[in-house]
């Protein structure tokens, strides 16, 4: 066997073995929700580091465990990448010494940890609150940095000039391969997933060959004297701060919320009085609805006459239990005035408040619930309150620093420890498992924008009827056709509608979610009797 063939065989073994071992372990312990991550174990930079950091930020339970784990991860990643680079080196091109490759790839691993870690922390935040904007925001810098970091472990002056189009193309193709592999693994029966992980490792080996060749034998470098890579890195780190504001803009500004169902009179065929619950950072200036049978839920509560009070965005930051208690009073007051059964229509956080009320408190006169953009399987990760150690302690402090910087220009602050977020984290077994479960005696439906498919790990996510339509988070509220379906539902019609692409998009997002923290590991959660969808792939399992 020639030297080239031996190196090719070694590259295949080194690229295939880690994903296969990781996938086999995940299948063996029935860790259904994290199976799509395994192919990234030998991906081209920076997808490999993104894989490592998400596991580490979720699965450490003390500062000592985090520091030791980080050093181990950096050492392992540096040596593994050096080996992949050496074995992928193009024939006929002088190769640096093994010692140089190890040193350089250890440096790249450390640099990647600094640059990628804030975005990995945002991925943890996404899994905590199940808001897809954070997931999408955390992926953009991977695509931008990939050609720079792929070159960093190969050539000395990697930080000068633009990467070639070939290097950009191969690193982008790796993103596509990892996405598709995660989707196929999520759909494959148990041990067949190990086979798919092996095939993904094979694809990684070929992409390492192409990427290393493109870096070691580049075409003409554009802007050869300009430090392009440091500029891109600084902008990427800064973007982790600015992403918070961009997420806020995309998810909806803090403006007065008045959905059409409150701006128009309810048809006579609707038997309910209706309470509409706004989402996180919504506000209400007190404008009365067009129909006395309708009210906007107030996060501040009721006045002396039992009428909802105007509220500002910071009122929505209270705990879900506190909001649910306020909702119970408003339900009783509206039912007393109208003598009608009550329908709840919640948007995002408002859906969570409605579902918490139906679970925690006697549902009383509530007979119907409409949930727009509910947070699907929230509470998949955890970080302890300040001053405590526990699972995800480093991720929590990283999020606090990011949000402290992002909050500097904001009049209303978003905090990773605000009561709303902490209530989700504390009662994660319920919010992870039962948000879209039926409640006896209550007609229920969830209106899900297709973007929410990325919020749900592969597997079952709902046992109530769903209406799925192309939209971003919160984007279905206000669409005329959707409003007509809501009215029809309130009038007693069946309006469920499944989008054929929803489950496909759900699986395509599997590779880029943070691994959930198993319910059995966190002492705060382990006393509950809830089943864990991360392992079973099912929701609403009997307690």
Q: Is the pLDDT of residue 222 over 80?
A: no
- Residue 543: inside a domain, yes or no? no
Looking up tokens 């309006």 gives: 495
Neighbours of 254 (CB within 10 A): 17
Mean pLDDT of the residues in the chain? 89
Judge if 55 and 83 occupy the same domain: yes
Residue-wise pLDDT for 190-220, tens only, equals 899 999 999 999 999 999 999 999 888 876 7
Widest CA span of the chain, in angstroms? 89
Question: What average pLDDT does range 476-482 have in this prediction?
Answer: 76
Judge if 19 and 121 occupy the same domain: yes
Q: Is the pLDDT of residue 150 over 80?
A: yes
Question: What average pLDDT does range 475-490 have in this prediction?
Answer: 83
- Residue 323: inside a domain, yes or no? yes
- What was the pLDDT predicted at 185? 96
What is the rounded CA–CA span in Å between residue 536 and residue 534? 6
The DSSP symbol for 449 reads E
| Whole-structure pTM value | 0.92
- What was the pLDDT predicted at 134? 66
What is the rounded CA–CA span in Å between residue 520 and residue 506? 25
Judge if 136 and 13 occupy the same domain: yes
Judge if 486 and 508 occupy the same domain: yes
Judge if 246 and 281 occupy the same domain: no
Q: Is the pLDDT of residue 254 over 50?
A: no
- What was the pLDDT predicted at 105? 95
Question: What average pLDDT does range 27-46 have in this prediction?
Answer: 94
Judge if 341 and 281 occupy the same domain: yes
Q: Of 219, 251, 283, which residue is a domain's last?
A: 251
Which residue would you say has higher pLDDT here, 34 or 92? 34
Judge if 275 and 344 occupy the same domain: yes
What is the rounded CA–CA span in Å between residue 255 and residue 283? 6
Which residue would you say has higher pLDDT here, 288 or 473? 288
Q: Is the pLDDT of residue 243 over 90?
A: no
Q: Of 251, 284, 300, which residue is a domain's last?
A: 251
Judge if 472 and 493 occupy the same domain: yes
- Residue 172: inside a domain, yes or no? yes
What is the rounded CA–CA span in Å between residue 226 and residue 235? 15
- Residue 478: inside a domain, yes or no? yes
Residue-wise pLDDT for 276-289, tens only, equals 999 998 999 888 88
- Residue % of the chain over a pLDDT of 90: 59
Judge if 201 and 53 occupy the same domain: yes
Question: What average pLDDT does range 414-431 have in this prediction?
Answer: 93
- Residue 530: inside a domain, yes or no? no
Residue-wise pLDDT for 499-529, tens only, equals 878 888 889 989 998 999 999 999 999 877 7
Long-range contacts for 521-525 (Cβ within 8 Å, ≥24 apart)?
A: 521/391, 522/382, 522/390, 522/391, 522/428, 524/382, 524/390, 524/426, 525/382, 525/428, 525/429
Question: What average pLDDT does range 129-149 have in this prediction?
Answer: 77
Q: Of 207, 222, 251, which residue is a domain's last?
A: 251
Judge if 302 and 352 occupy the same domain: yes
- Residue 292: inside a domain, yes or no? yes
What is the rounded CA–CA span in Å between residue 50 and residue 112? 8
Sheet hosting strand 466-469, strand order edge to edge: 294-296, 273-277, 342-347, 366-372, 443-449, 466-469
Q: In the structure, what pLDDT confidence band is assigned to residue 253 with cuts at 50, 70 and 90?
A: very low
Q: Is the pLDDT of residue 406 over 90?
A: no
Strand partners for 467:
447, 497
Domain that holds residue 487: 260-377+435-512
Please choose, from the candidates 262, 327, 303, 176, the residue with its C-alpha nearest in 3D space to the C-alpha of residue 477.
262
Question: Which CATH number does the domain housing residue 508 bear?
Answer: 3.40.50.1820
What is the rounded CA–CA span in Å between residue 153 and residue 300? 55
Judge if 240 and 267 occupy the same domain: no
Q: Is the pLDDT of residue 391 over 80?
A: yes
Task: Name the domain count of the chain.
Answer: 2
Judge if 100 and 166 occupy the same domain: yes
- Residue 96: inside a domain, yes or no? yes
- What was the pLDDT predicted at 202? 97
Q: Is the pLDDT of residue 325 over 80?
A: yes
Determine which of 61-75, 223-237, 238-252 has the lowest per-residue pLDDT on average.
238-252
Q: Is the pLDDT of residue 50 over 60?
A: yes
- Residue 401: inside a domain, yes or no? no
Neighbours of 335 (CB within 10 A): 17
């Amino acid at each position: 066997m020639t030297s080239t063939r031996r190196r090719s065989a070694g590259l295949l073994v080194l690229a295939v073995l880690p994903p296969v071992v990781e996938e086999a372990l995940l299948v063996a312990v029935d860790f259904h929700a994290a199976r799509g991550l395994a192919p990234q174990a030998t991906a081209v930079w920076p997808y490999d580091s993104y894989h490592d950091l998400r596991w580490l930020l979720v699965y450490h339970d003390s500062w000592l465990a985090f520091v030791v784990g980080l050093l181990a991860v950096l050492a392992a990643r540096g040596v593994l990448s050096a080996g992949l680079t050496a074995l992928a080196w193009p024939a006929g091109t002088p190769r640096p010494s093994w010692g140089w490759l190890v040193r350089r790839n250890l440096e790249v691993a450390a640099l990647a940890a600094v640059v990628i870690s804030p975005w990995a922390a945002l991925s943890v935040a996404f899994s905590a609150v199940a808001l897809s904007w954070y997931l999408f925001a955390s992926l953009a810098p991977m695509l931008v940095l990939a050609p720079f970091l792929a070159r960093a472990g190969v050539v000395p002056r990697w930080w000068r000039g633009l990467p070639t189009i070939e290097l950009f193309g191969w690193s982008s193709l790796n993103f596509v391969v990892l996405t598709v592999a995660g989707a196929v693994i999520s759909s494959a029966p148990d041990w067949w997933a190990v086979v798919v992980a092996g095939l993904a490792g094979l694809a990684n080996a070929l992409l390492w060959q192409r990427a290393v060749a493109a870096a070691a034998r580049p075409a003409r470098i554009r802007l050869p004297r300009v430090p392009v890579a440091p500029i891109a890195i600084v902008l990427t780190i800064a973007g982790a701060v600015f992403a918070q504001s961009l997420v806020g803009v995309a998810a909806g500004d803090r403006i007065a919320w008045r959905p059409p169902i409150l701006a128009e009179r309810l048809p006579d065929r609707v038997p309910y009085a209706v309470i509409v619950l706004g989402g996180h950072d919504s506000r209400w200036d007190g404008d009365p609805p067009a129909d006395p049978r309708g009210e906007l839920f107030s996060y501040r509560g009721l006045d002396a006459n039992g009428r909802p009070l105007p509220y500002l965005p910071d009122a929505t930051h209270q705990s879900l239990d506190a909001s649910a208690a306020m909702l119970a009073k408003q339900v009783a007051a509206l039912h007393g005035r109208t003598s009608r059964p009550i329908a709840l229509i919640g948007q995002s956080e408002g859906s969570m408040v409605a579902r918490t009320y139906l679970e925690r408190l006697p549902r009383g006169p509530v007979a119907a619930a409409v949930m727009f953009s509910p947070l699907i399987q929230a509470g998949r990760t955890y970080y302890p309150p300040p001053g405590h150690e526990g699972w995800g302690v480093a991720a929590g402090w990283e999020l606090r620093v990011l949000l402290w910087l992002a909050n500097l220009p904001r009049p209303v602050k978003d905090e990773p420890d605000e009561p709303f977020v902490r209530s989700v984290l504390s009662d994660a077994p319920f919010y992870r498992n039962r948000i879209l479960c039926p409640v006896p005696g209550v007609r229920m439906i969830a209106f899900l924008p297709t973007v929410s498919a990325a919020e749900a790990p592969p597997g079952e996510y709902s046992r109530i009827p769903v209406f799925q339509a192309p939209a971003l988070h919160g984007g279905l509220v206000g669409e005329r056709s959707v409003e007509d379906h809501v009215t029809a539902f309130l009038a007693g019609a069946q309006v469920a509608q499944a989008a054929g692409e929803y489950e496909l998009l759900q699986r395509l997002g599997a590779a880029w979610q943070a691994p959930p923290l198993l319910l059995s590991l966190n002492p705060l959660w382990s006393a509950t009797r809830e089943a864990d969808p991360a392992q079973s792939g099912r929701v609403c399992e009997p307690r």
